[in-house]
Structure 1
Amino acid sequence: MAAPYPGAMDTRPAGLVLARTPRLFGIEPFYMELLGGIEGALAEVDRAVMLQVVPDSAAEIATYRRWAADRAVAAVVVVNLVADDPRIGLLRELGLPAAALAPASVRLPVARVTVDGASAMREAVRELVALGHRRIARVSGPRALVHTRERDEAFAQACAEAGVDHVVAVADYTEEAGAEAAAELLVRDPRPTAVVFDNDVMAVAGARVAKERGLDVPGDVSVLAWDDSALCRLASPPLSAMSFDVDALGRLVGAVVLELLEHGEAADRAAVEHRFLARGSTGPAPA
Structure 2
Amino acid sequence: MTPQNDGAARATPARRPTIKDIARRAGVSESAVSFALNGRPGVSQGTRDRIHRVAEDLGWQPNSAARALSGERSGCVGLVLARPAHTLGVESFFLQLVSGVQEVLAARKVALLFQVVEDIEAECAVYRRWWAEKRVDGVLVVDPRSDDPRPELLDSLGLPSVMIGAPAEGERQVSTVWADDSAAMASVLAHLYELGHRHVVHVAGLPGLAHTERRINSLRTEAGRLGLTAIRSVPTDYSDAEGAEATRRVLDSDAPPTAIVYDNDVMAVAGVAVAAERGIKVPGELSIVAWDDSALCRVTHPRLTALVRDTSGFGRLAAEELLARLDGGPVRSLQAELPHLEPRESTGPPTSGA
* Shorter-chain TM band: over 0.9
Structure 2 gap ranges (5+):
1-67
SS at match of 2:285: coil
- Matched with 1:100 is 163
1:141 matched to 2:195:
no
* Aligned equivalent of 1:162, options 226, 230, 237: 226
Question: Structure 1 or 2: larger strand share?
Answer: 1
> What residue number does 1:80 align with?
143
**1:213: Cα distance to partner?**
1.2
Match of 1:256 in 2: 321
Give the corresponding residue for 1:34.
97
Q: Secondary structure at the match of 1:53?
A: strand
Instruction: Tell me, yes or no, if the aligned pair for 2:87 and 2:237 is still in contact at 8 Å.
Output: no
The verdict on how the C-alpha distance between 1:88 and 1:104 changes in structure 2, with shifts beyond 3 A counting, is: closer
Q: Max radius of gyration: which structure?
A: 2
Does the 8 Å contact 1:101/1:115 carry over to 2? no
How much identity, in percent, do the aligned residues show? 40
Query: Following TM superposition, by how much is the alpha carbon of 1:26 offset from its aligned partner in structure 2, in angstroms?
Result: 1.3
Q: Residue by residue, what CA displacement relative to the aligned partner does 1:214-269 show, whole Å, maximum 9, x if unpaired?
A: 10111100000011111211212111101111001001101101110111424321
Matched, 1:192 2:257: yes
- 1:9 deviates by 6.5
SS at 2:146's partner residue?
coil
Count of aligned pairs between the two proteins:
282
Most deviating of 94-103 and 26-35: 94-103
Amino acid at match of 2:128: R
Aligned residues: CA RMSD: 1.8
Structure with larger RCO (C-alpha < 8 A, sep 6+): 1
Alignment partner of 2:294 out of 229, 232, 245: 229
Amino acid at match of 1:228: D
- Cα contact 1:207–1:217 (8 A) shared by 2: yes
Does residue 220 of the first structure (1) align with residue 282 of the second (2)?
Answer: no
**Partner of residue 241, structure 2:** 176
Tell me the secondary structure at the aligned position of residue 263 of structure 1.
Answer: coil
Partner of 2:311: 246
- Local SS of the residue matching 1:85: coil
- Tell me the amino acid that sits aligned with residue 255 of structure 1: E
Find the aligned partners of 1:105 and 1:202 in 2 and give their Cα distance.
29
Counterpart Cα distance in 1 of 2:329 and 2:152: 17
SS at match of 2:188: helix
Aligned counterpart for 1:125 among listed residues 177, 185, 189: 189
Q: Which runs of 4+ in 1 moved over 4 A?
A: none
For residues 166-214 of structure 1, the C-alpha deviation after alignment (integer angstroms, 9 at most, x for no partner) is: 1211111011110111111112232211000011111111111111111
Bigger CA drift: 194-203 or 234-243?
234-243
Within 5 A, what are the aligned runs for 1:9-24? 10=73, 12-24=75-87
Q: Which AA in structure 2 matches 1:206?
A: G
| Counterpart AA for 1:49 | L
- TM-score w.r.t. length of structure 2: 0.76
Query: Could you tell me the TM-score, scaled by structure 1's length?
Result: 0.93
Aligned to 1:69, the other structure's residue is in SS state helix
Q: Report the more deviating stretch, 30-39 or 83-92.
A: 83-92
Match of 2:332, as an amino acid? A
Instruction: In structure 1, give the amino acid aligned to 2:174.
Output: V
Residue 36 of structure 1 aligns with an amino acid whose one-letter code is: S
| 2:118 matched residue in structure 1 | 55
Corresponding residue number in structure 2 for 1:110? 174
Change in 2 beyond 3 A, CA 1:200/1:106: farther
